C-alpha cells in the first residue's frame, strides 16, 4: 500500500498542535521497508530538544508482546507447557485461591484471576505495588502474603501486570538468565535494535515525560483514599514535567525502552510473523482469539497481543502507558501490509483519539457508516438499570477505578449510558447497532465510535470488562 508521506506529515503536525503535545514520533512500515519514520515537537520542551526517530521512549506494555514471544519460543522448544500449573513453576509465590490452579496460558491472556494489586488491603496503595521507586521487583520474593485470585482462571478477563511479571520470572528461571538478557538476545540482537533496552533505567537520549493537571476522576479518587493534590509547574501553559521516575516493578510487563527507529524494526518483524523469533505457526497461534466476551465487539485477546478491528480493518498489536509521561501505540494491519508506531512523551487519555486520527488519515479517510437505530421499548425494558462489576475487587480494581458502576437510563425516550467515573461520567446517548443483536453504539463523537454489548443482564465494555445488572441498585 502506498502512503502519502506529505499528507501524513501534515496530519502529525496538526495533531501535535491541536492537542498541545510535547512531542510525537510516528512510524509506518510494510513487511519489506520503513515507509515513514519522523519525530515532531520536542523530546524536552524546556530546551527545545527535538523529538526524532532516535529519541528513546518508555514503551510500557508493548513489552508484554516481547515477553510473550520469548515465552512462546520456550513452548516451541518443549521447555514450557501452556497447561503447566504456575504454582508448580513458581513455588515461592503463594496463590490465595479457592479456584482451579492458574495455568501458564492464563498469564498470556489476562485471564488468571490476578489483578493490579496483590491483595485487597493494597487498594489505597495499589500504585506502589506496581511502580517501584528503586527499580524492578524481585518477583519470586515480592509477595510475602501471596497473591489473591479473584475468579476461576480462564472464565473472565481483567488486566494483570503482576501476571506478566510472573511470566517473565518463569522465562528467567527456565533460561537460567535474567528476563532482560533473554529479551536482548532473542529479540533486540536478532533484529538489530541497538537503541533498545529491557531494563527500566533512564538512558541518554530518552525523552522527558510530561503529564497534565489531574482531572475530576483523579481528584475524587485521591480525596477518597486520602492522597493530597500536588500540582506541578506548567512548562508551556499545558504540560507538566514529571519530576519522579516511577520504575515498572514487574519488569516483563512493561520495562522496555526503545527508539522509534528500533520499534519500526520490531513492527516490521511482526508483519513477517516475527521474522524467526518464533516459527510462523507459533506466531499465527498467538493471534488466535483466546478470550472474547462478545464476538461482535472489536477488541479480543490473543496470546500477548490484542486483536481488533479498526475502520473495518483487521488489526493486532498493543499499547503501552507509563505513569508520569509516556504513551506508545503499536498497531499492525496485516491485510494491508502496514504497521504503525506512535510515541508520545505524555501521559494522557488522548492516545486512542490520536491513533484513530492517524489511522483514518493513513487509510485515506474512508467513509465510515454506523447505523444509529432507535432502541425499541422491549429492548429498553431489558437493558435499563444499574450495572455493577462482578465480585472480586482485586482483579477488577482497574475498571472499578476507571468506570465504577454504569447505568443505562431513559431521558425523554432517548437512552443514555453514564458511568460514575471516566469518559461517560456526564452521560452519552446510545443507539442500537446493525453489527450484532446485542451491540450498541455510544455516541461519543469519535470517528470510530465506542461499542458496548448488553445481553442477559450483562454489559460488556469494548475493553473486555463485563458488569452485571443489579436489580436493587438505585441510579444517580
Residue with the bigger pLDDT between 365 and 187: it is 187
> Which numeric CATH code is attached to 377-469?
2.40.128.600
Residue 135 in this model has a pLDDT that exceeds 90: no
Q: How far apart are CA 292 and CA 287, in angstroms?
A: 13
Number of Cα atoms under 13 Å in the Cβ half of residue 244: 12
- Give phi and psi for 242, each to the nearest 5: -80, 125
Residue ranges covered by each domain of the chain: 1-368, 377-469
Least confident range from 31-35, 205-209, 405-409, 422-426: namely 422-426
pLDDT at 56: 99
Q: How far apart are CA 255 and CA 248, in angstroms?
A: 6
Q: HEC string of 34-99?
A: EEEEEEEEEEECCCCEECCCCCEEECHHHHHHHHHHHHHHHHHCCCCCCCCEHHHHCCCCCEECCC
From the list 370, 368, 366, 367, the residue with the least C-alpha distance to 434 is: 370
DSSP reduced 3-state for 330:
strand
List, in sequence order, the alpha helices (H) in 272-343: 280-286
With cut-offs at 50, 70 and 90, classify the pLDDT of residue 148: very high
pLDDT at 124: 60
**Tens digits of residue pLDDT in 286-309:** 999 999 988 788 789 999 999 999
Q: Which three cell numbers stand for residue 371?
A: 447505523
Q: Torsion angle of alpha carbons 199, 200, 201, 202, nearest 10°?
A: 130
Instruction: Reply yes or no on domain 1-368 having CATH 1.10.3720.10.
Output: no
Residue 207 in this model has a pLDDT that exceeds 80: yes
Q: How far apart are CA 355 and CA 377, in angstroms?
A: 36
Same fold flag, 1-368 and 377-469: no
Q: How far apart are CA 250 and CA 159, in angstroms?
A: 13
With cut-offs at 50, 70 and 90, classify the pLDDT of residue 224: low
Q: What is the mean pLDDT of residues 370-393?
A: 93
Ordered DSSP codes for 219-253: HHHHHHHTPPP-PPPBSSSS-EE-----EESSGGG
Residue with the bigger pLDDT between 243 and 166: it is 166
Q: How far apart are CA 116 and CA 396, in angstroms?
A: 8
- Rounded to two decimals, what is the model's pTM? 0.95
The chain-wide mean pLDDT, for the chain, equals 93
Q: Torsion angle of alpha carbons 273, 274, 276, 278, nearest 10°?
A: -90
pLDDT at 127: 66
Amino acid at each position: 500500500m502506498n502512503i502519502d508521506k506529505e499528507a501524513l506529515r501534515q496530519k502529525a503536525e496538526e495533531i501535535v498542535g491541536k492537542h498541545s503535545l510535547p512531542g510525537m514520533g510516528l512510524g509506518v512500515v510494510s513487511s519489506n521497508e520503513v515507509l515513514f519514520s519522523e519525530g515532531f515537537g520536542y523530546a524536552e520542551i524546556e530546551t527545545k530538544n527535538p523529538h526524532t526517530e532516535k529519541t528513546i521512549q518508555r514503551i510500557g506494555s508493548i513489552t508484554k508482546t516481547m515477553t510473550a514471544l520469548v515465552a512462546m519460543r520456550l513452548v516451541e522448544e518443549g521447555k514450557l507447557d501452556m497447561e503447566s500449573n504456575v504454582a508448580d513453576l513458581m513455588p515461592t509465590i503463594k496463590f490465595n485461591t479457592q479456584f482451579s490452579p492458574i495455568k501458564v496460558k492464563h498469564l498470556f491472556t489476562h485471564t488468571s484471576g490476578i489483578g493490579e494489586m496483590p491483595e485487597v488491603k493494597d487498594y489505597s496503595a495499589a500504585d506502589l505495588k506496581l511502580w517501584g521507586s528503586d527499580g524492578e521487583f524481585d518477583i519470586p520474593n515480592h509477595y510475602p502474603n501471596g497473591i489473591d485470585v479473584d475468579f476461576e482462571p480462564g472464565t473472565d478477563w481483567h488486566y494483570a501486570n503482576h501476571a506478566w511479571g510472573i511470566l517473565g520470572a518463569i522465562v528467567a528461571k527456565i533460561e537460567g538468565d535474567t528476563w532482560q538478557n533473554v529479551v536482548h538476545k532473542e529479540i533486540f540482537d536478532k533484529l538489530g535494535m541497538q537503541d533498545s533496552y529491557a531494563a527500566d533505567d533512564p538512558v541518554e537520549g530518552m525523552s522527558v515525560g510530561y503529564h497534565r493537571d489531574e482531572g475530576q476522576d483523579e481528584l475524587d479518587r485521591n480525596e477518597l483514599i486520602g492522597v493530597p493534590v500536588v500540582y506541578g509547574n506548567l512548562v508551556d501553559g499545558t504540560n507538566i514535567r514529571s519530576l519522579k521516575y516511577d520504575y515498572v516493578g514487574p519488569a516483563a510487563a512493561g520495562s522496555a525502552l526503545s527508539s522509534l527507529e528500533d520499534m519500526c524494526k520490531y513492527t516490521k518483524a511482526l508483519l513477517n510473523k516475527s521474522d524467526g523469533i518464533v516459527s510462523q505457526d507459533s506466531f499465527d497461534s498467538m493471534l488466535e482469539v483466546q478470550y472474547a466476551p462478545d464476538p461482535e465487539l472489536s477488541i479480543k485477546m490473543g496470546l500477548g497481543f490484542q486483536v481488533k478491528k479498526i475502520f473495518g480493518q483487521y488489526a493486532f498489536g498493543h499499547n503501552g502507558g507509563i505513569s508520569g509521561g509516556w504513551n506508545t501505540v503499536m498497531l499492525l494491519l496485516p491485510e494491508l501490509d502496514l504497521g504503525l508506531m506512535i510515541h508520545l512523551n505524555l501521559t494522557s487519555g488522548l492516545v486512542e483519539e490520536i491513533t484513530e486520527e492517524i489511522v483514518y488519515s493513513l487509510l485515506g479517510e474512508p467513509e465510515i457508516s454506523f447505523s444509529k437505530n432507535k432502541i425499541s421499548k422491549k429492548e429498553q425494558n431489558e437493558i435499563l438499570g444499574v450495572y455493577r462489576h462482578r465480585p472480586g475487587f482485586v482483579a477488577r480494581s482497574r475498571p472499578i477505578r476507571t468506570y465504577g458502576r454504569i447505568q443505562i437510563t431513559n431521558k425523554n425516550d432517548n437512552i443514555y449510558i453514564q458511568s460514575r467515573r471516566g469518559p461517560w461520567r456526564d452521560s452519552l446517548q446510545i443507539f442500537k447497532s446493525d453489527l450484532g443483536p446485542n451491540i450498541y453504539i455510544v455516541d461519543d463523537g469519535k470517528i470510530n465510535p465506542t461499542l458496548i454489548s448488553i445481553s442477559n443482564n450483562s454489559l460488556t465494555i469494548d475493553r473486555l470488562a463485563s458488569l452485571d445488572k443489579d436489580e436493587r441498585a438505585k441510579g444517580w
